[in-house]
Chain A
Amino acid sequence: MIHANLKQLSALLAENKTSSVELCTEYLDRIAALNPTLNAFITVDRERTLAEARTADARRAQGEAGPLLGVPIAHKDIFCAEGWLTTCGSKMLSNFVSPYDAHIVSQFKAAGMPSLGKTNMDEFAMGSSNETSFFGPVKNPWDLKAVPGGSSGGAAACVAARLAPAATGTDTGGSIRQPAALCNITGLKPTYGVCSRYGMIAFASSLDQAGPMAQSAEDCALLLNAMAGFDRRDSTSLQREQEDYSRDLAQPLKGLKIGLPKEFFGEGLSADTAKAIEAAIAEYKKLGAETVEVSLPNMGLSVPVYYVLAPAEASSNLSRFDGVRYGHRAAEYGDLTDMYEKSRAEGFGAEVKRRILIGTYVLSHGYYDAYYIQAQKLRRLIAQDFIEAFKQCDVILGPTAPTTAFDLGAKNADPVQMYLSDIYTIAVNLAGLPGMSLPCGFGTDGRPIGLQLIGNYFAEAKMLNVAHQYQLATDWHQRKPEGI
């Protein structure tokens, strides 16, 4: 049962072949056995999970029957969840128990999904390897020497290792898609504004977006149905008609135009990843799709633009962590300034400090125009490139990451190398477009490779259709790591 995907579990529950309590107990036992090795969860609370499972079972007994009712989910520790420790992977919030639920968390509660716990992540979602977490790195279930990707590394690892059938993630520059690729799962970042950010601890507000992570595109569609929707508590949440993201899954791909940006297939892409992507393109052609070369001429600017804008917003977003009202406060300090300095020096890790410093610098008087304003202009150009490209194609396809998972510690010394692992994903956030990653093969090192699909604005249903048809034709997404 533990290896079943969300849709299968949903069917088992609907047929009363299992209960939410039984299901949660199995997952909790597996977490207890494997989490010491993988470190995918920061917080597990058996009693709380089982209480939620009993509620789900009671709801079903009373005749309720949603597709997600009783299926457990794991929440990234960036989401505030009432009564749960909510750390955001940081020492700064290592004592913070949230008094409220994030919108996404309450949506899944309403759908009847018990929470299996809070998953590990890069500190404040800043990282691409899950190594910046105060709670230690997460191990990739496919190879314990490898990173799981980041920042939603705990979420990706726990779905890959079948510690949970589904997980929430957040994606600011690739934080859902890159770990999904590195762990051989399916993850989707929606169009900016589709999911409310209320209760999701902000990293870079104009880029952050929550999304589902699961075994398949079909599962992601079911999860997105529960996550998406207008929330008046988030001013950037979009007021749109509720849609069924599963509605187009079965559509055949005949005549589909797939755009292949030449910039995605140039220098820096490893040979085995390139080969796997070529194979996926061939598969799509077999399914009746056509390919067309497109160009995203400003894509090369996306990493530098991102590393101006995201730190700028982060430097301000993280100012509230000052040790005054909650979170870490230094044990001893002199005056007020000393309290701030010591509390923040102790509470934040090196990568977070690096980005606060970069962000503070680019917003400073005399540098603002040259960095922040310039980056905003380039951001519009990058978005414009996609708008042009989508005039020629229905979806864009390419690699999610340039290589398979790298070894733990391999890129710690060189932040720029680390930042480049998001080179194919960042532009999507800058443009506010939906994107997803799905399994498409394995590298020469036996580690998974992810295929990235990028949709036009609000074309999640189309993108899921394109992913699902591929998953009907291939079994990469059904492969699971051996030995754990």
Chain B
Amino acid sequence: MQWETVIGLEVHTQLTTQSKIFSGASIAFGAEPNTQACAVDLALPGVLPVLNQGAVERAVKFGLAIGAKLNRVNLFARKNYFYPDLPKGYQISQFELPIVEGGALTIQVPSSESGQAESKTVRLTRAHLEEDAGKSLHEDFHGMTGIDLNRAGTPLLEIVSEPDMRSAKEAVAYAKALHNLVTWIGICDGNMQEGSFRVDANVSVRPKGQQEFGTRREIKNLNSFRFLEQAIDYEVRWQIEQIEDGHKIQQATVLFDPDTGETRMMRTKEEAHDYRYFPDPDLLPVRLDDDLIAQMQGELPELPQAKQARYQQDYLLSAYDAGLLTQSLAHANYFEAALKTLNTDDLTVGAKHVANWMNGELASALNKADLSIAQSPISPDSLAGLLKRSADNTLNARLAKEVFAAMWAGEGEADAIIEARGLKQMSDSGEIEKIIDEVLAANQKSVEEFRAGKDKAFNALVGQVMKASRGKANPAQVNELLKKKLAG
């Protein structure tokens, strides 16, 4: 039987406010346990929550960025359950009337047939504000559990998608696009190691062609795109196997173990809590007025999709190139800075040149070193400096790569390296002719072969000339002069 995978994602993004969503305590990562938890975070008797306006503003920005409906009146509710790292015994979250409803995100997915990227729209269900819980530390305390409430009350925007994705690859593409968007508009730092962007995946399978969804299982807390893909792939195989073996899938929450690459059950639906949601009487309904919305709209930068379209239109870049250059705000900023410094007469030529280098040499170097574009040892200005020498034929392609490597190694700017290493391309025809004469004299055999009609011999001679010039001769000039000499 042919199976179809259905995936919806719930992503918890930590917002970039200074303080917590309902208290004034700091949310900086990595502090000593319980040093960033005030009376409100500890849920001392009598304390009350006060909503951080910054969290509301960030949620509004997100809603505007995805073309969603903003609920002008939205509500905070209490989600009641007991756990030691949940100090109040309830989480303040939004249930009915979330701040953001609907909206959509366009993603690029590689088509299985053509290998070309195709765009697809993933619909969003809602995004709501809530507070994070603290952390339970089960190791390090023999026979006990340590509770760290630094994280308790950290503002989160939980972004819920419709079950619109049909493969792990699509889920990853969506997660990456979302990650790009929230960091792009500055509402989340996107740091997945520190838990600023956490993904839960709802996964089910159904026979191809069937309308209704299969029973889903929710994979909790995936903190890397790689784990997201592995976990979904495993889960899909497991579910298909179960069904084909005649078992029914039970609605459940599961955890992914990166060590084994498997998912394992946390709890079934029967064990699920009745959270007894009700509107939090300590907080007033949140009202979004026109001024706030207009202000947030004004603060939004040009969004990734708009920028990509503009790159394609203004610079005649391919969708592929433009997509890569807008994969993050840092990429786009890098691109634009390098292009500006390069300052070519024809911007489309310069743009293509920068794009080739960013998506080629620079991307592979960063990838190999496991660095982000923001951490690149070569600044956009420096890269432009190198590209200038390539554009004015000072460097041929091979030499340009050599200079790039030296820049990467920290040897300085392109011009300084060219100078220090004497790498200037040889364009003086007299000098090149002298070398050609020497090479022809020393390789009479090849000359005869060429004259006997063997084209290969010509290439061998070019190679010899290039070698003799230590790679500095302009290859086009070598070709031309050599042809002339041999003809003469």
Partner of B88, one of A204, A233, A312, A320: A320
CB distance from B43 to the nearest CB of A (A): 4
B450 at the interface (CB under 8 A from A): no
A199 and B47 within 8 A (CB): yes
A357 at the interface (CB under 8 A from B): no
Instruction: Report B177-221 CB contacts with A as 1/0, cut-off 8 Å.
Output: 000000000000000000000000000000000000000000000
Q: Which residues of B contact A100 (CB under 8 A)?
A: 39, 44
B439 at the interface (CB under 8 A from A): no
* Contact A206:B281 (CB < 8 A) given known A235-B51, A316-B78, A319-B82: yes
Q: Which residue of B lies closest to A312 (CB)?
A: B278
B274 and A319 within 8 A (CB): no
Q: Which residue of A lies closest to B274 (CB)?
A: A365
Q: Which residues of A contact B42 (CB under 8 A)?
A: 325
* Contact A364:B276 (CB < 8 A) given known A236-B282, A316-B89, A336-B84: yes
Partner of B283, one of A202, A235, A312, A321: A235
B315 at the interface (CB under 8 A from A): no
* Contact A372:B278 (CB < 8 A) given known A93-B45, A235-B51: yes
Bound complex: CA A98 to CA B42 (Å)? 13
B31 at the interface (CB under 8 A from A): no
Bound complex: CA A326 to CA B45 (Å)? 9
Q: Which residue of A lies closest to B82 (CB)?
A: A340
Q: Which residues of A contact B276 (CB under 8 A)?
A: 315-316, 360, 363-365, 368
Q: Which residue of A lies closest to B282 (CB)?
A: A205
A234 at the interface (CB under 8 A from B): yes
A264 at the interface (CB under 8 A from B): no
A233 and B46 within 8 A (CB): no
Q: Which residue of B lies closest to A376 (CB)?
A: B279
A236 and B284 within 8 A (CB): yes
A477 at the interface (CB under 8 A from B): no
B147 at the interface (CB under 8 A from A): yes
A57 at the interface (CB under 8 A from B): no
Bound complex: CA A407 to CA B247 (Å)? 66
B89 and A319 within 8 A (CB): yes
A197 and B82 within 8 A (CB): no
Bound complex: CA A31 to CA B178 (Å)? 66
Q: Which residues of B contact A88 (CB under 8 A)?
A: 45
CB distance from B96 to the nearest CB of A (A): 11
Q: Which residue of B lies closest to A88 (CB)?
A: B45
B46 and A102 within 8 A (CB): yes
* Contact A319:B50 (CB < 8 A) given known A206-B281, A325-B43: no
A436 at the interface (CB under 8 A from B): no
A99 at the interface (CB under 8 A from B): yes
B282 and A200 within 8 A (CB): no
CB distance from B287 to the nearest CB of A (A): 13
A324 at the interface (CB under 8 A from B): yes
B318 at the interface (CB under 8 A from A): no
A84 at the interface (CB under 8 A from B): no
Q: Which residue of B lies closest to A339 (CB)?
A: B84
Bound complex: CA A83 to CA B87 (Å)? 22
A322 at the interface (CB under 8 A from B): yes
A111 at the interface (CB under 8 A from B): no
Q: Which residue of A lies closest to B39 (CB)?
A: A100
A129 at the interface (CB under 8 A from B): no
Q: Which residue of A lies closest to B89 (CB)?
A: A319
Q: Which residue of A lies closest to B278 (CB)?
A: A363
Q: Which residue of B lies closest to A202 (CB)?
A: B46
Instruction: Report B39-57 CB contacts with A as 1/0, cut-off 8 Å.
Output: 1001111111111000000
A240 at the interface (CB under 8 A from B): no
Partner of A86, one of B45, B48, B78, B84: B45
A235 and B45 within 8 A (CB): no
Q: Which residues of B contact A320 (CB under 8 A)?
A: 43, 45, 87-89
A479 at the interface (CB under 8 A from B): no
A198 and B46 within 8 A (CB): yes
Instruction: Report A98-118 CB contacts with B as 1/0, cut-off 8 Å.
Output: 111010000000000000000
Q: Which residues of A contact B90 (CB under 8 A)?
A: 316, 319
A319 and B80 within 8 A (CB): yes
- CB neighbors of A among B276-307 (8 A): 276-278, 281-284
B281 and A319 within 8 A (CB): no
B45 and A232 within 8 A (CB): no
A201 at the interface (CB under 8 A from B): yes
CB distance from B40 to the nearest CB of A (A): 8
A96 at the interface (CB under 8 A from B): yes
B46 and A80 within 8 A (CB): yes
Q: Which residue of A lies closest to B34 (CB)?
A: A325
A199 and B284 within 8 A (CB): no
CB distance from B153 to the nearest CB of A (A): 14
Q: Which residue of B lies closest to A237 (CB)?
A: B48
Bound complex: CA A100 to CA B43 (Å)? 13
CB distance from A468 to the nearest CB of B (A): 32
Q: Which residues of A contact B46 (CB under 8 A)?
A: 79-80, 98, 102, 197-202
- CB neighbors of A among B140-169 (8 A): 145, 147
A235 and B48 within 8 A (CB): yes
CB distance from B141 to the nearest CB of A (A): 14
Q: Which residues of A contact B282 (CB under 8 A)?
A: 202, 205, 235-236
- CB neighbors of A among B403-425 (8 A): none
A313 at the interface (CB under 8 A from B): yes
B44 and A80 within 8 A (CB): yes
Partner of A313, one of B43, B274, B281: B281
Bound complex: CA A294 to CA B51 (Å)? 41
- CB neighbors of B among A184-234 (8 A): 197-202, 204-206, 232-234
Q: Which residue of A lies closest to B81 (CB)?
A: A319
Instruction: Report B240-275 CB contacts with A as 1/0, cut-off 8 Å.
Output: 000000000000000000000000000000000010
CB distance from A274 to the nearest CB of B (A): 36
CB distance from A101 to the nearest CB of B (A): 10
CB distance from A85 to the nearest CB of B (A): 12
Q: Which residue of B lies closest to A101 (CB)?
A: B46
Instruction: Report A291-335 CB contacts with B as 1/0, cut-off 8 Å.
Output: 000000000000000000000110110111110111000000000
Q: Which residue of A lies closest to B22 (CB)?
A: A235
Q: Which residues of B contact A79 (CB under 8 A)?
A: 46
Bound complex: CA A96 to CA B284 (Å)? 30
Bound complex: CA A326 to CA B43 (Å)? 10
Bound complex: CA A98 to CA B276 (Å)? 30
Bound complex: CA A355 to CA B368 (Å)? 62
* Contact A364:B274 (CB < 8 A) given known A199-B46, A313-B281, A326-B44: yes
Bound complex: CA A136 to CA B282 (Å)? 31
CB distance from B317 to the nearest CB of A (A): 50
Partner of B284, one of A80, A235, A365: A235
CB distance from A88 to the nearest CB of B (A): 7
CB distance from A398 to the nearest CB of B (A): 27
* Contact A235:B84 (CB < 8 A) given known A86-B45, A100-B39, A205-B282: no
Partner of A324, one of B44, B50, B78, B147: B147
CB distance from B271 to the nearest CB of A (A): 12
Q: Which residue of A lies closest to B78 (CB)?
A: A316
B50 and A233 within 8 A (CB): yes
Q: Which residue of A lies closest to B88 (CB)?
A: A320
Q: Which residues of A contact B277 (CB under 8 A)?
A: 363, 368
Q: Which residues of B contact A312 (CB under 8 A)?
A: 278
Q: Can you offer 29 A-B residue contacts whose CB atoms are under 8 A? A: A80-B45, A98-B44, A98-B45, A99-B44, A100-B44, A197-B46, A198-B46, A199-B46, A200-B46, A201-B46, A202-B282, A205-B282, A206-B281, A235-B51, A236-B284, A312-B278, A315-B80, A315-B276, A316-B78, A316-B90, A318-B89, A319-B82, A319-B89, A319-B90, A320-B87, A320-B89, A322-B82, A326-B44, A363-B278
Besides the known contacts A201-B45, A336-B145, 18 further A-B residue pairs in the complex with CB atoms under 8 A apart: A79-B46, A88-B45, A93-B45, A96-B45, A98-B46, A100-B39, A202-B282, A235-B51, A236-B284, A315-B276, A316-B78, A320-B89, A324-B147, A363-B277, A363-B278, A365-B274, A368-B276, A368-B277
Query: What 6 pairs between A and B have smallest CB-CB spacing?
Result: A319-B89, A363-B276, A205-B281, A206-B281, A199-B46, A320-B43
A-binding residues in B (CB < 8 A): 39, 42-51, 78, 80, 82, 84, 87-90, 145, 147, 274, 276-278, 281-284
